[in-house]
A and B are shown apart, each in its own frame.
Chain A
């Protein structure tokens, strides 16, 4: 009887999980399938085609948007990783009370709705431009915005590594005659590296994935892929939107899987070390 109940529970649990996953992924599945549909219609399947992808790749606007997305992802990742790593080290050196406070503050943007981050950054940029009398929204502001919202992700992934760090390592390097810079590069950085890489990958993913913040901090002339999709839907629906969304989905998915596998590997490795 009990085992029957337990079985029932297990089945129900699976069913429930399945249902949730179904609702989460069904729209994406439909989207992906119809990106290969030979017909313009979104209701009927009329055979497999790659036309929408080809058309997409030949479209000038999309090409430019793709280039923007890639450039911004790469550069915002580089800047955010450098800034975030240094910031994490600085925060770690603070006294306990201020450290807790700053960690809280740096966690806020991660949880804040993107709209709010987007709008507030836009207002900030416009305010600065107005006071200076020069400048306008565009590629630069979008890049800056991405750096800003990516820094906390890097801080959050580097901090745990700093916690695990043996405080005597840096001193041991100095003790053996190494100057502070060399000690950092040869001894400390290798220890932080897994966290730095995870942070960079997260930042890259967030940057590719972002719509809201980009939307508010750029000008209509400078689009990234997600903005491009948005403006395409406004001009009428066309399956190349599906194709474009599929591409972004696949990229983000791959990144997330990579991050996940890294994390698990690192956890295993740490467990072995202990």
Chain B
């Protein structure tokens, strides 16, 4: 697949403050790439650099192999859905959507047609003459999406476009957006801090923290093979336990030696063990590798979430079967569900400057 956009060693400082630290990323044609990370990690800034609204302090930005660092935003072949919509308040819904087409000097009848198509797509037929300030947050967001999509850009940049929607509408729009992306064949660069959203929609996820990309991969890769404790913890819930790698396929943590599938560590290397809550199996007292007491139980709809204390460590455990609080149970983890990670270098030290 051809690389459409490429970020090369992008660095961004805001008055001495390093906000992006050496970002390297490429985005393929027709790819749905998501930048995922906690608030303030630099997602919006990355998107703004791609859109041309912010100049990086260092590095290069390639579009189809050519640097576009010096191309002004209105000449870049991409459109943006802004985090706070940025609809034009002096124009109604139809005029907002038609704005980009008018600039391209599309004739009036086809503008009308295209606006109608878009309204159908975002489910806002009949809203054409409404003032945008009278719309709900979700409706405004959909107008913003329509306004950007109507220009048929090669790339669409979306900054938390579903942030203001309620859960049900958000799920619907996730499906809608994904469908649009596939039908129209547009490359999406999508920003969110919602890991579930990232997992369901993306072809590729780039997990960011404190201005750096920690891991890039498919949703399955990122979820199943997180490369660091941060990623593991950010993508879904995790039990993260300090441990020691005794030898290949044998690791010791929580006071017990477990079999695992990882190898290639040094002998007795200190490591972090990551175990997903749904991968912890509850057994009878005698059958478990560890024994602990159920501290409390929360009903989560599809499953129960339990805290089980095994002396020194409290496990998050998810199961469809409830073990009552106070009961003593055994727990085990299958070898291939134990993820061993190198102790990650403390992330903060870089920001000391």
Residues from 75 to 110 in B contacting A, C-beta threshold 8 Å: 78-80, 82-84, 86-90, 99-100, 103-104
Shortest Cβ gap from A3 to chain B (Å)? 45
Instruction: Let me know if A166 is at the binding interface, CB within 8 A.
Output: yes
**Which one of A166, A171, A178 lies within 8 Å of B103 (CB-CB)?**
A178
Closest Cβ of chain B: how far from A39's Cβ, in Å? 57
Q: At the interface, yes or no: B51 with Cβ under 8 Å from chain A?
A: yes
Given A174-B72, A175-B79, A168:B103 Cβ within 8 A: no
For chain B, the count of residues having a C-beta within 8 Å of the partner chain is: 25
Q: Is the CB of B73 within 8 A of A190?
A: no
Measured between alpha carbons, how far is A164 from B256 in the docked complex, in Å? 61
By the criterion CB–CB under 8 Å, are A190 and B82 in contact? no
Closest to B83 in A: A168
Interchain CA distance A191-B132 in the complex, whole Å: 14
How far, in whole Å, are A169 and B83 apart by their CA atoms in the complex?
12
B53 adjacent to chain A (CB < 8 Å): yes
**Contacts A171-B53, A187-B88, A187-B90; A177 near B82 (Cβ below 8 A):** no
Q: Give the total of A residues in contact with B, Cβ under 8 Å.
A: 20
A169, A176, A180, A186, most chain B CB atoms within 10 A:
A176
- Which residue of B is nearest A272, CB measured? B133
Contact A166 B74 (CB under 8 A): no
State whether the Cβ of B68 lies closer than 8 Å to any Cβ in chain A.
Answer: no
Q: Which residue of A lies closest to B157 (CB)?
A: A175
Tell me if A273 and B147 are in contact (CB < 8 A).
Answer: no
Shortest B91–chain A CB gap in Å is 8
Residues of A within 8 A of B79 (CB): 175-176
Known: A171-B53, A273-B133. A176 touches B103 (CB 8 A): yes
B151 within 8 A of A: yes
A173 interface hit (Cβ, 8 Å): yes
A-chain residues with CB within 8 Å of residue B151 when the two chains form the complex:
176-177
A175 and B158 CA atoms in complex are apart in Å by 12
List A residues at the B interface (Cβ < 8 Å).
166, 168-169, 171-180, 182-183, 186-187, 190-191, 273
A-B contacts, 23 of them at CB < 8 A, read A166-B84, A168-B84, A168-B86, A169-B88, A171-B82, A172-B82, A172-B88, A173-B88, A174-B53, A174-B74, A175-B53, A175-B80, A176-B99, A176-B100, A176-B147, A177-B100, A177-B103, A177-B151, A178-B74, A178-B99, A178-B103, A183-B74, A190-B90
